Amino acid sequence: MKRSPLKRTPFVRKHTRIKNASTKRRKRNAEVKPFRQAFTLEVGCCELCGQGGLLDVHEISGGWARSKALDKRYAILALCRGCHTVVEQEPALWSVPRQIALLRARRPHDFDLVAINKLLTRQVDLESVEFAAELIRV
């Protein structure tokens, strides 16, 4: 039986690409950028390991409230890239109460459990922060 060769459509890249961030998100990112740069400069070193250099801003409350958390001192940590990766990728090790306990240990004046609970889906009580604080030796 004679077979006809497969017809292949040549790959053509389309003009439009998926945007990295929505317009709304880009606008919000630009809005909070000065605050976040000043924040990392002020903190100066990783709040987890103490290393200086370039720091990321980590949002303790991710998910639906991440955008609101971007410029809230009670909801963010300044972390080096290495620690940021660990905190993001190991939620079992770095539970939300533990992250809040770290914030409280490093910046007690910024600790605000009532405020951050408004940005969290699962509420965190003081007892779980106290318990997690015992895991952090500061």
- Give the interface with Zn ion as residue ranges (CB under 5 A): 46, 48-49, 51, 80, 83
Nearer to Zn ion, 60 or 80 (CB): 80
Nearer to Zn ion, 32 or 45 (CB): 45
76 φ, ψ (degrees, to nearest 5): -135, 160
Least distance in angstroms from the C-beta of 35 to Zn ion: 21
Least distance in angstroms from the C-beta of 77 to Zn ion: 10
Q: State the burial class of residue 53 (Cβ atoms within 10 Å of its Cβ: 0-12, 13-18, 19+).
A: exposed
Least distance in angstroms from the C-beta of 37 to Zn ion: 18
Residue 87 Cα distances to 8, 18, 78, 90, 93, angstroms = 46, 28, 12, 6, 8
Least distance in angstroms from the C-beta of 41 to Zn ion: 16
- Tokens (6 digits) for 30: 């630009």
